[in-house]
Amino acid sequence: MALVIGTECKVRVDTNRALALALLHDIAEAKTGDIDAYEQILAGKQLVEDKSVMEESAMREMTDDLPFGDWIYSLWREYEDQVTLEAKFIKALDRIEGFLHISEGGVEMYIPKEFHADYANKAVEAFDEATHHFPELKDLLDAVKSDLQKQFESVGVKWVDGTKETPPATDIA
């Protein structure tokens, strides 16, 4: 995804570094597992902080005995700290990927409906943030956003776009 989108959208990042970050950014989750988006919405910031501590420990454990462990750890840390353009690019793609899965699988796979509204709002925020850092992604993000909006509205969930709310679509016969 990083190579194709980075190249096709002409994102100005170091592609090799971005690919390295893409390959390593979730490596700690091999030991810790990932947090379901719905669970994260319900539990909030503390769950994210706990996950961060567990992942830090897992990365230390997995890389401390490797001769190139410092290199792997530093790339993982670069992604976590979000200080480079490449790290921000991979984070943007990581967020977009979740919404692409929903878009392709259909919003009906997520229950309850309250989750849809929260997720729609999170999607818009993530898209807008990514567009802020990478205007080259705007057309792609707008297409995904438009598709998700139609899907959410088709199941009666309002679409929240910043301060502007779109009421659910209704059939007029």
What confidence score (pLDDT) does residue 121 get? 64
* Architecture of the domain whose range is 2-166: Orthogonal Bundle (1.10)
Peptide bond into 112 cis (omega under 30): yes
What confidence score (pLDDT) does residue 59 get? 94
What confidence score (pLDDT) does residue 114 get? 56
CB 6 within 8 A of CB 13: yes
Among candidate residues 97, 100, 72, 79, the one with its CA nearest the CA of residue 22: 79
Region 16-40: mean pLDDT is 84
Domain boundaries, the chain: 2-166
**pLDDT confidence of 135, banded at 50, 70, 90?**
confident
The burial class, CB within 10 Å (0-12 / 13-18 / 19+), for 148 is buried
- Asked if residue 106 has pLDDT above 70, the reply is yes
- Asked if residue 97 has pLDDT above 70, the reply is yes
Pairwise CA distance, residues 83 & 69, whole Å:
20
Q: Which residue has the tokens 């390295």?
A: 20
What confidence score (pLDDT) does residue 129 get? 75
Region 25-38: mean pLDDT is 81
Region 137-165: mean pLDDT is 75
Share of the chain above pLDDT 90, in %: 32
The pLDDT tens digits for 52-75 are 899 999 999 999 999 999 999 999
Structure-model confidence comparison of residues 160 and 152, the more confident one: 152
Region 63-92: mean pLDDT is 94
User: What is the pTM assigned to this prediction?
Assistant: 0.77
